[in-house]
Amino acid sequence: MSLKIRPARPGEAPLVLGLVRELAAYEHLEREVEATDALIDAALFGERPNTFCDFAEWAGEPVGLALGFLNFSTFRGRNGFYLEDLYVRPAHRGRGIGRAILAHLARKCVDNGWARLEWSVLDWNAPAIRFYQSCGAIVMPDWRICRLTGEALAAMAGPGETRRVSEFL
C-alpha cells in the first residue's frame, strides 16, 4: 500500500476545489458549489485560517480529501472537529483510504484533546452510512441539521442595526 495523508499546502486551493466539485457531482449538488479558489485559499491559509484540509495520496496522486473545522461542545467543555467533507475518488474506494483518513482525524482529535469527531451523511447514501457504521460511528437518528442560508439568513439577520429583544418575542 502506498498511502500518504498530508495537510494541504498553500497554492493547492484548485486541487481542494476540484475534489469538492467531484463530491458535489456524486451527491447531485453541483449547483450548490459557490466556492472559488480564492475563497478556499483564504479559508485554509488566510490571516486567521479556521478550516483544515488533508489530502490522501495513493502512489503520489491525490485521491481523496478531508476538510473540516473546529466546533465546540458546551456539554464537554472542549472543542471537537466537524468533518465537512470526506471524499475518496471512486476508482480508489475499497482500498481502506476512507478508513485511514478517519483514523488520521481521530488521532488528531485525541492528540489535541478534542472531544469528538462528527460529520453529516445524506440519508440516501446507504454505502456511506454502512461504511461509517463499520468504523464505529453512530448515526444520530434523533438529530436533524438546521440551516439558515441565502434569503432566509438575510431575513433573520434583519436590518444592519442592532435589533431590540422585543422584536424576537
The one-letter amino acid at 146: C
The region that residue 77 occupies, defined by phi over 0 for left and psi between -120 and 50 for alpha, beta otherwise, is left
Residue 132 annotated as catalytic? yes
Rounded Cα–Cα distance for residues 92 and 110 (Å): 27
In sequence order, the β-bridge partners of residue 68 are 52, 83
Catalytic annotation, residues: 132
